[in-house]
Amino acid sequence: MKNNLSKIALLMFALILTGFIFIIGCGGGDDPEKGIGPIKEIKLEAAIDNNLVAKGKQIFDLKCVACHKFDEKLVGPPLKDVTKRRKPEWIMNMILNPDQMLKENMIAKNLLAQYLTPMTFQNVTQDDARALLEYFRSMDK
């Protein structure tokens, strides 16, 4: 009887410990500097890809200029040096998943508090977002 009780206690302890490790593990994967969305990890070449830059500029002039300039504030923040203040993953997640970013990501929430207008999804693909990122990198060189 006593033996059974200590077995149960041990089992409970093991379960609680597993729970803690699980929670800590999940928390660690959610990096606010990378944002929330489809882009978890991206590797960039040091050299700028000029074809991508051209594609990115085309998309930008079509879908982003209504709200963004580079050197001054419009509806949204000036995008000069955005690749210096944000991680590439964060920039792409902001472009691809602005609704959730503005609700759940601290950095995006602070921007919304400042700019008051929510950025909206512009129907861009993951490849489009990658091209836009390359365009921003070229502007920040």
Counting contacts by CB under 6 A, is residue 132 touching ligand HEC? yes
- Among 57, 76, 104, 139, indicate the residue that binds ligand HEC (CB under 6 A): 76
Enter the tokens of residue 39.
């882009």
What would the x/- binding string for ligand HEC be over residues 1 to 40, using CB under 6 A?
A: ----------------------------------------
Rounded to a whole number of angstroms, the minimum distance from the CB of residue 109 to ligand HEC is 9
Enter the tokens of residue 133.
């990122």
CA count, 13 A, side-chain hemisphere, 84: 8
Enter the tokens of residue 97.
């998943």
Q: Which amino acid is at 83?
A: T
Interface residues with ligand HEC (CB under 6 A)?
63-64, 66-68, 75-77, 79, 82, 86, 91, 94-95, 102, 111-112, 115, 117-120, 122, 124, 132
